[in-house]
Amino acid sequence: MPSATLDTVPGTLFYFTPPADGSEPYNRVNTDPTSTIPLSNWTPQKYTVHIENVRGKEALFTLDEAGFQYFKHPARYTSFIDDDEIKAEYYPESADLIQKITGASRVVLFDHTIRRRILGQVDMVGKRQPVKEVHVDQTASSAISRVHLHLPPSEAPELLKHRFQIINLWRPISHPAFDMPLTLCDYRTVDKENDLAAVARISPERRGETYRVKYNPQHRWKYLKGMTPEEFVLIKCFDSTKDSGVSIFTPHTAFLDPSAPEDTLPRESIELRALVFYD
């Protein structure tokens, strides 16, 4: 673990440990708060790490090296109340941003999640909360499934012959996100062969797969303290590149920042998920 410095805060993160009985790990999407079916069959393990506030040093972290990159660019659309309006207004401007930044030939947004923190509320559909476990949104295989799911059969096979990525665009809503900020693990400190565990994601619509992350003392965690709605971060979740010098994913999670101002407003954020294609 790196030593504490002026720029770091201690944060408790929840890493993966496999189910004790050797069964395949799963997480179930919480759609029914009265259900007694367990939401998962494994127990997250707590570790306290030093998390560095990189404000002023944002340029050291790029999408293809660290796996994430911070930008300052206010959104034209700022109300974030209605899902259809978000799709009509916020999706196109965000797809344009991702395309300009990455130089991709095509960007297809396929999902968004709004999180508004409510104290004591468990994460559930319609009341999504900051995420408490270190994860990557897609595994290599569920990333490819996403292309087949969201693009017609006449296009998906050709698109998959070229480089493609899954990138999230994460942005605070309405006020700075001092409360439960998002922390990202620098890809250069990840052991891509050994740190990941595929976990089934069971929802009423489909059985997907995400990665949970095993503790590794080499991991270096970063955050941008007090990120404002005028700022956003791109998070790489998948990259089909075969170039071993390029990031292919970034573990991330929310954490309770002990240095957050006491009277700060509960975190509100929106994240978009994008398929990013290249010629």
271 forms part of the interface with ligand OGA (CB under 6 A):
yes
Residues 29-88 that bind ligand OGA (CB under 6 A): none
Which amino acid is residue 141, in one-letter code?
Answer: S
Helix (H) or strand (E) holding 253: strand 252-254
Name the residue among 28, 63, 61, 31 with its Cα closest to residue 42: 28
| Residue 233 contacts residue 157 (beta carbons within 8 Å) | no
**Among all residues, whose Cβ is closest to Fe ion?**
137
> x/- string (CB under 6 A) for ligand OGA, residues 127-166?
---xx-----x-----------------------------
Residues 137-176 that bind Fe ion (CB under 5 A): 137
Name the residue among 116, 131, 225 with its Cα closest to residue 178: 225
Q: Which is nearer to ligand OGA, 9 or 182 (CB)?
A: 182
- Options 138, 168, 183, 210; binder of ligand OGA; rule CB under 6 A: 168
Provide, rounded to whole angstroms, the least separation between the CB of residue 237 and ligand OGA: 7
Provide, rounded to whole angstroms, the least separation between the CB of residue 100 and ligand OGA: 20
Give me the residues paired with residue 227 across strands.
177
| Residue 66 contacts residue 250 (beta carbons within 8 Å) | yes
Provide, rounded to whole angstroms, the least separation between the CB of residue 253 and ligand OGA: 7
Name the residue among 233, 195, 230 with its Cα closest to residue 76: 230
220 makes contact, choosing from ligand OGA, Fe ion, none, with CB < 5 to 8 Å by partner type, with none
Which residues have CB under 8 Å from 244's CB, separation 6+? Answer: none
Q: Which is nearer to ligand OGA, 137 or 231 (CB)?
A: 137
Q: Which is nearer to ligand OGA, 68 or 164 (CB)?
A: 68
Long-range contacts of 82-86 (CB under 8 A, 24+ apart): 83/112, 86/112, 86/270
97 makes contact, choosing from ligand OGA, Fe ion, none, with CB < 5 to 8 Å by partner type, with none
- Per the listing, tokens 């010629």 go with 279
Distance CA 194, CA 67 (A): 18
13 makes contact, choosing from ligand OGA, Fe ion, none, with CB < 5 to 8 Å by partner type, with none
Binding site for ligand OGA (CB under 6 A): 115, 130-131, 137, 168, 170, 182, 252, 254, 269, 271
Binding site for Fe ion (CB under 5 A): 137
